[in-house]
């Protein structure tokens, strides 16, 4: 079971990178380039609020899983 948790840690890290890439490339950059003032606020929120929270949380969760913090024998 612990090896499955470590493999899932790799999956969480990859998911964090994909989520960060998606938020920046597919959501924020097109809104920055649109030139509309009403698109600027969501682009800033995607870039500086949501992306660090989502990607950082998934990345930390995956890192702890790889380091063995969730192993069964530690509890």
- Indicate whether 74 pLDDT > 80: no
Which letter does DSSP use for residue 13 in this model? H
Helices and strands (DSSP H and E) totals, the chain: 4, 0
- Indicate whether 60 pLDDT > 80: yes
Residue 10's closest CA among 65, 52, 53?
65
CB atoms within 10 A of CB 6: 15
pTM of the predicted model, to two decimals?
0.83
Measure the CA–CA gap between 75 and 36, rounded to whole angstroms: 53
As a whole number, the mean pLDDT across the chain is 92
User: For residues 29 and 60, is the Cβ–Cβ distance under 8 A?
Assistant: no
Averaged pLDDT, 10-20 = 96
Measure the CA–CA gap between 68 and 5, rounded to whole angstroms: 8
Averaged pLDDT, 47-61 = 95
């Amino acid at each position: 079971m612990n090896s499955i948790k470590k493999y899932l840690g790799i999956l969480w890290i990859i998911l964090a990178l994909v989520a960060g890439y998606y938020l920046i490339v597919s959501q924020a950059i097109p809104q920055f380039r649109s030139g509309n003032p009403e698109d600027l606020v969501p682009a800033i929120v995607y870039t500086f609020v949501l992306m660090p929270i989502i990607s950082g949380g998934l990345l930390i969760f995956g890192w702890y899983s790889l380091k063995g913090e969730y192993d069964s024998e530690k509890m």
